[in-house]
């Protein structure tokens, strides 16, 4: 079960021993890209049960091999929305347990002049506002990209949004709360702080680079 932070009211941190074990390996700079990708997907899969706990269901009639009975299925569509590119690294892990989910994509970059997030790509289901949206990004640092993605989803009609991350910094969680107090953030770990370069400490490095092997680890 996740635990609530005493000061960050929009944050749930998972304390499951398997998540802690896998996160420790993922943090290790000696863990190579293939294992890093696998670990992120495994952690995302372990988090999925709790993230989906409050999804509404409706009753249906099911014909078993022996008789008719009552079953339950989700009553609203679910859309996973990874923030490109690092968010892709956790999406497969969620979909292994949740193959009926749709997948949208939002690409966000930082304007080097204004330092503000700029959405350069977005593709969402036309009825994304009819169901639940789960924003996926391994790192929540300053919160700029996360808030931009959430704002885009709200403009598309979404009213039930959650966020799934690997590690988060207090600064980013607070920003999400200040700008989108209705959005819950789920994370495997709450790290200490952002440094002067806006890197999460202790962190795990650049998740996108480590996933796609674009730097040596």
Catalytic entry in 85, 102, 110, 151: 110
Catalytic residue flag (residue 191): no
Is position 182 annotated as part of the catalytic site?
no
Q: Biggest alpha carbon distance in the chain?
A: 67
Residues 189, 192: Cα–Cα separation, whole Å: 10
Catalytic entry in 6, 64, 114, 116: 114
Active site annotation includes 110: yes
Distance separating alpha carbons of residues 5 and 11, to the nearest angstrom: 6
Question: Of 28, 92, 130, 209, which residue is the catalytic one?
Answer: 209
Exposed (0-12), middle (13-18) or buried (19+): which is 30, by Cβ within 10 Å? exposed
Quick one: 16 exposed, middle or buried, by C-beta within 10 A (0-12, 13-18, 19+)? middle
Is 114 one of the catalytic residues?
Answer: yes
- List the catalytic residues: 110, 114, 206, 209
């Amino acid at each position: 079960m996740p635990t609530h932070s005493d000061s960050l009211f929009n944050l749930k941190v998972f304390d499951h021993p398997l998540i802690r074990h896998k996160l420790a390996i993922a943090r290790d700079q000696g863990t190579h890209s293939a294992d890093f990708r696998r670990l992120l997907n495994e952690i995302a899969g372990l988090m999925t049960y709790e993230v989906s706990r409050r999804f509404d269901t409706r009753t249906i009639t099911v014909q078993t091999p022996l008789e008719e009975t009552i079953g339950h299925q989700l009553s609203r569509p679910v859309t996973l929305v990874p923030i490109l590119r690092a968010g892709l690294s956790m999406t497969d892990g969620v979909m292994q347990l949740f193959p009926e989910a749709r997948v949208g994509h939002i690409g966000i970059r930082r304007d080097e002049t204004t330092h503000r997030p700029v959405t350069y790509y977005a593709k969402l289901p036309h009825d994304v506002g009819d169901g639940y949206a789960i924003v996926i990004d391994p790192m929540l640092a300053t919160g700029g990209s996360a808030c931009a993605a959430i704002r885009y989803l709200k403009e598309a009609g979404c009213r039930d949004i959650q966020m799934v991350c690997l590690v988060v910094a207090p600064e980013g969680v607070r920003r999400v709360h200040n700008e989108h107090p209705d959005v819950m953030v789920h994370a495997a770990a709450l790290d200490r702080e952002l440094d002067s370069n806006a890197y999460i400490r202790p962190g795990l490095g650049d998740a996108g680079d480590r996933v796609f092997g674009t730097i040596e680890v």
